[in-house]
A and B are shown apart, each in its own frame.
Chain A
Amino acid sequence: MTLEVQNLHVRTEEREILHGVDLVVKKGETHALMGPNGSGKSTLANTLMGNPSYEVTEGRILLNGEDLTESDPDERARAGLFMAFQYPATIPGVSVANFMRMAVNAKREEPIKVKEFGALLKENMDLLKISRDFTSRYLNEGFSGGEKKRAEILQLAMLQPEFAVLDETDSGLDIDALRIVSEGVNAMRGEDRGFLIITHYTRILSYVRPDFVHILLDGRIVREGGSELADELEAKGYEFVREAVAANGA
Chain B
Amino acid sequence: MAPSFVEDRRHAALEVFESQEVPTWRRSGFWTTSLRGLDLDSLEPKRYDSLDSVLVREHLGDEEHAALIVQQGANIVHCDVTDERVIVMPLEEAVEKHADLVEEYFARRLPYDEGKFPAGTAAFWTGGVFVYVPDNVQIERPIQAVWLIEEPGTVQWAHSLVVVGEQSEVKIREYFLAPDFEGQALHSGAFELYARPGAQVHLAHYQDWGSGEVHDLSVRRVEVQRDAHVKWVPIHLGGHLTKQTLDIITAEPGSDMRHTGMYFTERDEHLDLFTTDRHEAGHTTGDTVWKGALTGESRASYEGLIHIIPKATEVDTYLQTHSMLLSPKAKGDAIPSLIVEVDNVKASHGGTVGELDPEQIFYMMTRGISRAEAVRVLVEGYFEEVVMRLDDPGLEELVRRRISEKLAGAEDQVREFIGERAEAG
Q: Which of A194-222 contact B (CB under 8 A)?
A: none
Is there contact, CB below 8 Å, between B423 and A93?
A: no
Q: For the complex, is B366 an interface residue (Cβ under 8 Å from A)? A: yes
Mostly, the B contact residues are helix
Is there contact, CB below 8 Å, between B360 and A93?
A: no
Q: What's the tally of chain B residues with a CB closer than 8 Å to chain A?
A: 26
Known: A72-B371, A76-B366. A89 touches B359 (CB 8 A): yes
Q: Which residues of A contact B (CB under 8 A)?
A: 13, 49-53, 72-74, 76-78, 82-83, 85, 88-94, 99, 102-103, 106-107, 138, 155, 159
Known: A52-B422, A91-B378. A73 touches B362 (CB 8 A): yes
Residues of A within 8 A of B384 (CB): 92-94
Q: For the complex, is B309 an interface residue (Cβ under 8 Å from A)? A: no
Is there contact, CB below 8 Å, between B368 and A77?
A: yes
Contact for A77 among B365, B382, B383, B385, CB less than 8 A? B365
Q: For the complex, is B364 an interface residue (Cβ under 8 Å from A)? A: yes
Residues of B within 8 A of A159 (CB): 367-368
Known: A51-B362, A92-B385, A93-B384. 14 other contacts (CB 8 A): A53-B422, A72-B371, A73-B366, A74-B366, A77-B366, A89-B357, A89-B359, A89-B363, A92-B381, A92-B382, A92-B384, A102-B367, A102-B369, A106-B369
Is there contact, CB below 8 Å, between A91 and B363?
A: yes
Is there contact, CB below 8 Å, between A52 and B423?
A: yes
Q: In the bound complex, what is the Cα–Cα distance between A36 and B370 (angstroms)?
A: 34
Q: In the bound complex, what is the Cα–Cα distance between A236 and B371 (angstroms)?
A: 45
Q: Nearest A residue to B419 by beta-carbon distance? A: A52
* Nearest Cβ on chain A to B370's Cβ, whole angstroms: 5
Is there contact, CB below 8 Å, between A102 and B382?
A: no
Is there contact, CB below 8 Å, between A78 and B368?
A: yes
Residues of B within 8 A of A99 (CB): 367
Is there contact, CB below 8 Å, between B365 and A93?
A: no
* Nearest Cβ on chain A to B352's Cβ, whole angstroms: 13
Residues of A within 8 A of B366 (CB): 49-50, 73-74, 76-77, 82-83, 85
Is there contact, CB below 8 Å, between B360 and A90?
A: yes
Contact for B381 among A82, A83, A85, A91, CB less than 8 A? A91
* Nearest Cβ on chain A to B416's Cβ, whole angstroms: 14
Q: For the complex, is B61 an interface residue (Cβ under 8 Å from A)? A: no
Q: Nearest A residue to B385 by beta-carbon distance? A: A93
Q: Which of B369-405 contact A (CB under 8 A)?
A: 369-371, 373, 377-378, 380-385
Is there contact, CB below 8 Å, between B381 and A88?
A: no
Q: Nearest B residue to A78 by beta-carbon distance? A: B368
Known: A52-B422, A53-B422, A102-B377. A91 touches B367 (CB 8 A): no
Number of A-B contacts (CB under 8 A): 82
Q: For the complex, is B37 an interface residue (Cβ under 8 Å from A)? A: no
Known: A52-B422, A53-B422. A77 touches B367 (CB 8 A): yes
Q: For the complex, is B3 an interface residue (Cβ under 8 Å from A)? A: no
Q: For the complex, is B358 an interface residue (Cβ under 8 Å from A)? A: yes
Known: A52-B422, A52-B423. A73 touches B360 (CB 8 A): no
Known: A51-B362, A52-B358, A73-B362. A93 touches B383 (CB 8 A): yes
Q: In the bound complex, what is the Cα–Cα distance between A99 and B367 (angstroms)?
A: 9
Residues of A within 8 A of B365 (CB): 50, 72-74, 77
Q: Which of B223-240 contact A (CB under 8 A)?
A: none
* Nearest Cβ on chain B to A54's Cβ, whole angstroms: 10
Enumerate 14 A-B pairs (CB-CB under 8 Å) in ascending A order.
A52-B358, A53-B362, A53-B422, A53-B425, A72-B365, A73-B362, A74-B366, A74-B371, A93-B383, A102-B373, A103-B368, A103-B369, A106-B373, A138-B381
* Nearest Cβ on chain A to B392's Cβ, whole angstroms: 18
Is there contact, CB below 8 Å, between B360 and A103?
A: no
Residues of B within 8 A of A49 (CB): 362, 366
* Nearest Cβ on chain A to B275's Cβ, whole angstroms: 23
Residues of A within 8 A of B422 (CB): 52-53
Residues of A within 8 A of B362 (CB): 49-53, 73, 89
Q: In the bound complex, what is the Cα–Cα distance between A83 and B364 (angstroms)?
A: 11
Q: In the bound complex, what is the Cα–Cα distance between A76 and B360 (angstroms)?
A: 17
Q: Which among B366, B367, B423, B425 has the greatest number of chain A C-beta atoms within 10 A?
A: B366
Residues of A within 8 A of B378 (CB): 91
Q: Which of B342-369 contact A (CB under 8 A)?
A: 357-360, 362-369
Contact for B363 among A52, A88, A102, A106, CB less than 8 A? A88
* Nearest Cβ on chain A to B41's Cβ, whole angstroms: 46
Q: Nearest A residue to B379 by beta-carbon distance? A: A93
Q: In the bound complex, what is the Cα–Cα distance between A82 and B422 (angstroms)?
A: 21
Q: In the bound complex, what is the Cα–Cα distance between A128 and B235 (angstroms)?
A: 42
Q: In the bound complex, what is the Cα–Cα distance between A72 and B384 (angstroms)?
A: 28
Q: In the bound complex, what is the Cα–Cα distance between A102 and B381 (angstroms)?
A: 13
Residues of B within 8 A of A51 (CB): 362
1/0 contact string of B143-154 vs chain A (CB within 8 Å): 000000000000
Q: Which among B357, B358, B359, B371 has the greatest number of chain A C-beta atoms within 10 A?
A: B359
Is there contact, CB below 8 Å, between B359 and A74?
A: no
* Nearest Cβ on chain A to B111's Cβ, whole angstroms: 40
Residues of B within 8 A of A92 (CB): 381-382, 384-385
* Nearest Cβ on chain B to A177's Cβ, whole angstroms: 21
Q: In the bound complex, what is the Cα–Cα distance between A159 and B377 (angstroms)?
A: 19
Residues of A within 8 A of B380 (CB): 93
Residues of B within 8 A of A78 (CB): 368
Q: In the bound complex, what is the Cα–Cα distance between A53 and B359 (angstroms)?
A: 9
